[in-house]
Amino acid sequence: MFHADRWTNAFFAVSAESADDAFQYVKIFTPQIKKIHGAFFGHGAAERLEKTLLESAGSAGIEEDSLAALYAIRFVCLLVEKNCFKYIDRLLARIEQKLNEQNGILDVTVESAVSLDSAFEEELARQIREKTGAANIKMKTRVKPELLGGYLLRIGSFYVDASLKGQIEKMKIDLFQASKLAADGGV
């Protein structure tokens, strides 16, 4: 069983104040590793990968003495050695979530029936920052025509349904409950 929180905590314990930069390097190295076909894991594979990534980093202009790059390389090599690299996407999402928490960045998802204009996005971000005290907002938007109008807003586990579809569903439930109550003689 893969324990994303344990790996995330290990990442932060090792990279410490270099966590933001190390995370960026892990994101840079991940696609290169994903391009390698076939399953590879174990100590030998991790050693070869470390050598390749160090060479790749050097040719990409990453300074040899960059602790963040070194942490990132060793971290992905440990994932490979322990046959856990296949969980990298889950792990990256968890690390990013924790970095955002540490940096006061709030992840917000907005789903709307049509594309949002930038003025609405900016105003929504301003209001969320004002109400939550977040230092910054990282907003992801998705178009979902089935919402008919309005939007769905997700901030962590907090959820606001301001969509036309949601309002229609709520009216449907209210009407059903009212008709049931009337049929039972309650009205």
**Structural domain boundaries in the chain:** 4-100, 104-183
Could you give the percent of the chain with pLDDT greater than 90? 42
Q: Where residue 46 falls among pLDDT bands split at 50, 70, 90? A: confident
pTM of the model: 0.68
* pLDDT exceeds 70 at position 112: yes
148 and 165 Cβ atoms separated by less than 8 Å: yes
- Amino acid 65: pLDDT: 61
- Amino acid 187: pLDDT: 55
88 and 4 Cβ atoms separated by less than 8 Å: no
- Amino acid 47: pLDDT: 83
Q: Which residue has the higher pLDDT, 99 or 32?
A: 99
The alpha-helical segments, DSSP class H, found in 16-156 are: 19-34, 43-59, 67-81, 88-102, 118-132
Cα–Cα distances (Å) from 21 to 16, 28, 77, 96, 150, in that order, read 10, 11, 17, 12, 38
* pLDDT exceeds 80 at position 186: no
Distance (Å, whole) CA 72 – CA 76: 6
84 and 114 Cβ atoms separated by less than 8 Å: no
